[in-house]
Amino acid sequence: MVDFGYKGKVFSVLALCAVLSLASCASRYNFAVGLSDELAQYYGIYPSLEADLALVIDSEADSIKAAGVDTYFEPGNSIRQKLVPWTMFFSDESIETARLVEYDDHWFAWLEKNPTQFLLIVNLPPVAPAAAPPAGAAPPPAPSDPRMILVPMDKNFFIQDAFFKIEPAKISKVNVAPETPKPENKGK
């Protein structure tokens, strides 16, 4: 066996640490989900909401889209239970921005199934439907539900952190982590 000496051992340990660090960075990252000030202005208070974040496979994404947001959040929904989602709870008393960090146990469960899509879904009240088309006209295609985001996970998915803001009737992706709203903005 070749003895690399002290410098060789130090180099080997540093190389191993670098590889483990890169593997960690390539497999998960940080998410932040917060409430917009507009949400309280729209409802007069910050409404009680649940938001789920999960990494899913294509068949799970298809089931969620087919069921819809309202069905997904029904008590005992089997699709939701199988996902092992990271659930965030928001209300007028709990407006803190939620953060899922890279070392949370949820990552291990999600990455075991080789996910293909990122899901963020929130039980905001639905938007009022658009007016019906004139008699005899074909109905427009159904839009995707703005209370749910499904993002395909390509090879660059884990390069940067992801930040989202819950607004009246939709979820928006934002460039910086949302700040916790100011309580004085309620109902203005």
* H or E stretch at 119: strand 117-122
Q: For residue 22, what pLDDT is reported?
A: 39
Give yes or no for residue 139 having a pLDDT over 70: no
Whole-number percent of the chain with pLDDT over 70: 70
Contacts of 153 (CB under 8 A, 6+ apart): 55, 115, 116, 117, 118
Burial of 74 (0-12, 13-18, 19+ CB in 10 A): exposed
Domains and CATH numbers, the chain: 30-127+142-185 (2.60.40.4150)
What is the spatial distance between Cα 138 and Cα 115, in angstroms, rounded to a whole number? Answer: 37
Give one DSSP letter per residue of 66-83, joined into a string: HH-HHHHTSTT-HHHHHH
Alpha-carbon Rg for the chain in angstroms: 21
Query: 67-125, pLDDT tens digit by residue?
Result: 999 999 999 999 999 999 999 999 999 999 999 987 888 888 898 999 999 999 999 98
C-alpha dihedral sign at 172, 120, 55, 29: positive
